[in-house]
């Protein structure tokens, strides 16, 4: 049976056109964009074309507001630490939320070790930040607000535009981690109003290991990598031309196909949500009913362990996730689920189902059949479940 | 006429086997190494195989002492800033040399903006550091010595083993930027004794945008990228699997073919150096007569401007460099050439000729014929040259 990828959050497949573009880049074997000779010029052109495609995807005013990085995590670290270091003369206070990705949490934790301080605002039962809480958290020495655009575990989309109005008025730099949004849902940096936007190539079917950071012109930030004058002086190091080529092509396709992809994703979500009760009982859907990514369903199934389901489905060649791939190895319950009020037990029974253009309604139906069997098997051997059912 | 790449320092071609491995990685479309399911396991295996090949190339005790980065510059920044931040409780003094690569110079300059202080030791007329100078520069609050293994403009190889003896005795962390050495000349981290070694994939015919940092077990260093637990917790962010695959294959080939490559490079150097006087007069060879990279010849030709030669040779499809590609855009004379005592005028007349396995004796001869014409043309129109010749 064909493998089914319902773990797009960890890895989306490369689109055929992206593969083609990358293979062509390998065969062309471009030179170093910094070289003065023709070989260098050609390489530089390839990188700048990709930059334009990415800038176009997010509606940046200037292509050079887009800096290529090595991952979404690389972008987030650059944004948060770069602003913190560059603005330490003004203050050392950062505002963030309780449900950020590990790259945000750990970048900020690192800064706390360097005498920065942090206010983390809570979220409601659907994982949404209240902009008023952000406004109230801002102090005289606040230099940065970092609130994610969409959550990687439950899909909740934050009121970024409203938060940006607050930060703009108070003249505070605003970063949003939009790694799971850019290229997946429409994302317009002009409309959003954030000064810094982190994103990555893989969520829109480009290669892993390449990301982007939008830096609005005039934003006070240091590079994380110092050295040569690559990326308009904002990130040193010879460019990952093959990866950047793939990201550029993927951005072009994401822009072109955004509408039809969204329709497809919403159909898959609709199938999943409407069919779920026909296969499993006693569960919570963790998604926000209104403000949520279209390609992610988070479900907490009672009396089972998500990790057992994951491994049993893996035997049937169906991939799902129980938490962000970046959090693998952590034994603690998800901070996101705890923040929206799930119990520890329910958090352990949570599965994140993420899908994409390559999935079909049949994939969803096969998944539902398999998970129904799996959950039954697990509940049958659960002493807790049997006790409660008595 | 076929293009001739005598600017390997900016860009070495991908070897056919490396291209093949990368194209296979694209077609296999591996998942996310952090995922718990089979798709993730397979991806993790690919990354770990590449890590073993790289560890083998530099003779690391453990593969996990190798951290994949996004470039040589990324490795250098990680090493220098990571040590500086992690050891600031012990001190804030760093020792380096006058002829480092821009990534080292600018990383340290950045740290100076954060209240670190630096001693930079001079080099002799061939660009070599005296280990005694390093020993004398070390103070009670020194936390890091960073001296490059080989220089990217003149090829001089430093007495790393002797410096490592000093740092080991004084219990100071020692980083060496070996970007232009690893994979080009034999490099054994056990023999060298440095705690941190920066390198990149492209100098040994792997892709650009992927590098490595050797971190000797027990070295106190912070990650530069915080987030997920990738790279054994030493560098967060989803891996550039396609690039890492290419680097792994390139490392394997570099190890296998090291001896024959060295013979070839030395033959090309011998041709270049012995034939040069038959084509051009009044020049200096900047290389160290004994301790020098075999794939680089730096020559300062009097009464001409290197950049004009570069552009004229480019018209003949011959690529050379006048300085490190990372220093492009800088108008100042090379700090390396000034440090070895070249005049400003001679520094401007400098060309860096770097070659590799893909070059032949014929390439060198054609280059010499063309450069001889070019230099004659430029000197004929030089008022200074004509005045002196009168």
Tell me the per-residue pLDDT of B177-208, one tens digit each, with 9 for 90 and over: 999 999 999 999 999 999 999 999 999 999 99
Mean of per-residue pLDDT scores for chain B: 95
The helix/strand/coil state of A7 is strand
**Cα(A278)–Cα(A289) distance, rounded to whole angstroms?**
20
**Cα(A147)–Cα(B123) distance, rounded to whole angstroms?**
49
Q: A interface mutation test: which of B227, B230, B231, B312 has the most A CBs within 10 A?
A: B227
What size, in residues, is chain B?
390
Same domain, B139 and B30: yes
**Cα(B121)–Cα(B64) distance, rounded to whole angstroms?**
33
The tally of domains found in chain B comes to: 2
Instruction: Cite the beta strand spans of A221-366 per DSSP E.
Output: 283-285, 296-301, 318-319, 350-354
**Cα(B106)–Cα(B191) distance, rounded to whole angstroms?**
28
Answer yes or no: do A314 and B71 touch at CB < 8 A.
Answer: no
Can you tell me the mean pLDDT for B309-317?
Answer: 95
Both structure tokens of A7: 């773990």
Nearest chain B residue (CA) to A34: B325
The closest CB to that of A202, out of B77, B238, B314, belongs to: B238
Using an 8 Å Cβ cutoff, are A268 and A297 in contact? no
Same domain, A243 and A271: no
Same domain, B178 and B324: no
Using an 8 Å Cβ cutoff, are B108 and B142 in contact? no
Q: The domain spanning residue B44 has which CATH number? A: 3.40.640.10
Can you tell me the mean pLDDT for B251-255?
Answer: 98
User: Which of A227, A253, A279 represents a domain boundary (last residue)?
Assistant: A253
Distance from CA of A208 to the nearest CA of B (A): 5
| Element of type H or E holding B299 | strand B296-301
Q: Which has the minimum average pLDDT: A323-327, B119-123, B363-367?
A: A323-327
Q: The domain spanning residue B308 has which CATH number? A: 3.90.1150.10
Q: Measuring CA to CA, which residue among A334, A71, A332 is closest to residue A177? A: A71
Q: DSSP states of B151-174 as a string?
A: -TTT-BBP-HHHHHHHHHHTT-EE
Residue B152, class by beta-carbon neighbours within 10 Å (0-12 exposed, 13-18 middle, 19+ buried)?
A: buried
User: Which of B253, B278, B300 represents a domain boundary (last residue)?
Assistant: B253
Q: Measuring CA to CA, which residue among A85, A66, A46, A76 is closest to residue A231? A: A66
Both structure tokens of A60: 């940046």
Kindly report the CA angle at A181 between A106 and A320, in degrees rounded to 5? 75
CA torsion sign for A20, B40, B218, A224 is: positive
User: Which of B253, B288, B312 represents a domain boundary (last residue)?
Assistant: B253
The helix/strand/coil state of A336 is helix
Both structure tokens of B329: 């855009």
Confidence of residue A331 (pLDDT cuts 50, 70, 90): low
Q: Measuring CA to CA, which residue among A223, A249, A234 is closest to residue A56? A: A249
Residues near A53 by beta carbon (within 8 Å), at least 6 away in sequence: A248, A249, A251, A252, A255
Using an 8 Å Cβ cutoff, are B76 and A226 in contact? no
At B256-308, the pLDDT tens digits run 999 999 999 999 999 999 999 999 999 999 999 999 999 999 999 999 999 99
Instruction: Count each helix (H run) and each strand (E run) in chain B, helices first.
Output: 13, 12
Same domain, A246 and A291: no
Give me the pLDDT at residue A324, please. 63
Residue B325 has pLDDT above 80, yes or no: no
Confidence of residue B50 (pLDDT cuts 50, 70, 90): very high
Give me the pLDDT at residue B328, please. 60
Same domain, B263 and B238: no
What predicted TM-score, i.e. pTM, was given to this entire model? 0.96
Residue A9 has pLDDT above 80, yes or no: yes
Answer yes or no: do A36 and B307 touch at CB < 8 A.
Answer: yes
Give me the pLDDT at residue B345, please. 86
**Cα(A240)–Cα(B27) distance, rounded to whole angstroms?**
19
**Cα(A336)–Cα(A104) distance, rounded to whole angstroms?**
13
Residue B215: C-alpha distances to residues A96, B124, B150 (Å): 32, 30, 19
Both structure tokens of A167: 């930060």
Clarify whether B62 is annotated catalytic: no
Distance from CA of B6 to the nearest CA of A (A): 11
Chain A (66-125) residues lying within 8 Å, Cβ to Cβ, of chain B: 69-74, 76-77, 85, 101-103, 106-107, 109-110, 114
Give me the pLDDT at residue B323, please. 78
Residue B203: C-alpha distances to residues B17, B196, B210, B350 (Å): 15, 18, 11, 21
Using an 8 Å CB-CB cutoff, list chain B residues near A69. 70
At A293-321, the pLDDT tens digits run 999 999 999 999 999 999 999 999 999 99
**Cα(A210)–Cα(B209) distance, rounded to whole angstroms?**
9
Give me the pLDDT at residue A330, please. 62
Using an 8 Å Cβ cutoff, are A358 and A13 in contact? yes
Same domain, A279 and A139: no
Strands A66-69 and A211-215: antiparallel
Using an 8 Å CB-CB cutoff, list chain A residues near B103. 225-228, 236-237
Same domain, B222 and B295: no
Give me the pLDDT at residue B333, please. 82
Give me the pLDDT at residue A389, please. 87
Same domain, B295 and B198: no
Give me the pLDDT at residue B329, please. 58
**Cα(B23)–Cα(B6) distance, rounded to whole angstroms?**
26
ipTM beyond cut 0.90: yes
The backbone region for B205, taken as left when phi is positive above 0, alpha when psi lies in -120 to 50, beta otherwise, is left
Same domain, B185 and B221: yes
Phi, psi (5° rounding) for residue A123?
-125, 160
Residue B330 has pLDDT above 80, yes or no: no
- Tokens 């070989």 — which residue? A39
At A141-197, the pLDDT tens digits run 999 999 999 999 999 999 999 999 999 999 999 999 999 999 999 999 999 999 999
Same domain, B203 and B275: no
Same domain, A140 and A240: yes
Parent domain of B275: 4-11+258-389
Q: Where are the alpha helices (DSSP H) in B158-240?
A: 160-169, 189-192
**Cα(B96)–Cα(A142) distance, rounded to whole angstroms?**
36
The closest CB to that of A7, out of B35, B229, B242, belongs to: B35
Using an 8 Å CB-CB cutoff, list chain A residues near B85. 114
Same domain, A128 and A33: yes
At A92-105, the pLDDT tens digits run 999 999 999 999 99
Residue A1 has pLDDT above 90, yes or no: no
């Amino acid at each position: 049976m064909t493998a089914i990828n319902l773990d797009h959050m960890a890895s989306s497949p490369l689109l055929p056109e992206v593969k083609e573009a990358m293979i062509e880049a390998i065969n062309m074997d471009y030179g170093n964009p910094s070289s003065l000779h023709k070989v260098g010029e050609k390489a530089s052109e390839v990188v700048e074309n990709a930059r334009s495609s990415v800038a176009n995807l997010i509606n940046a005013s200037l292509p050079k507001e887009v800096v290529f990085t090595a991952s979404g995590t690389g972008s987030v670290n650059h944004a948060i630490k770069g602003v913190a270091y560059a603005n330490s003369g003004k203050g050392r206070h950062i505002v963030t939320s309780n449900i950020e990705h590990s790259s945000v949490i750990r970048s900020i934790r690192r800064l706390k070790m360097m005498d920065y301080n942090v206010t983390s605002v809570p979220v409601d039962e659907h994982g949404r930040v209240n902009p008023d809480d952000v406004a109230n958290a801002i102090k005289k020495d606040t230099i940065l607000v970092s609130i994610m655009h969409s959550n990687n575990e439950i899909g909740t989309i934050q009121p970024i535009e409203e938060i940006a109005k607050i930060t703009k008025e108070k003249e505070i730099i605003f970063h949003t981690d939009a790694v799971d949004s850019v290229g997946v849902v429409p994302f317009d940096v002009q409309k959003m109003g954030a000064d810094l936007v982190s994103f990555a190539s893989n969520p829109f079917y480009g290669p892993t290991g390449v990301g982007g950071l939008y830096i609005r012109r005039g934003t006070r930030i240091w590079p994380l990598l110092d050295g040569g004058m690559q990326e308009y002086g904002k990130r040193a190091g010879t460019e990952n031309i093959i990866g950047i080529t793939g990201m550029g092509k993927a951005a072009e396709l994401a822009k072109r196909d955004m509408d039809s992809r969204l329709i497809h994703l919403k159909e898959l979500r609709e199938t999943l949500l409407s069919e779920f009760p026909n296969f499993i009982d006693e569960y919570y859907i963790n998604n926000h009913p209104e403000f949520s990514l279209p390609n992610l369903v988070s479900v907490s199934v009672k009396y089972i362990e998500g990790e057992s389901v994951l491994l049993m489905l893996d035997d049937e060649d169906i991939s799902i996730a129980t938490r962000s791939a970046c959090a693998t190895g952590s034994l603690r319950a998800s901070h996101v689920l705890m923040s929206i009020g799930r119990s520890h037990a329910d958090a352990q029974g949570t599965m994140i189902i993420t899908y994409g253009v390559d999935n079909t309604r049949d994939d969803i139906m096969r998944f539902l059949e398999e998970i129904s069997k799996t959950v039954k098997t697990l509940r049958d051997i659960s002493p807790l479940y049997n006790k409660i059912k008595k």
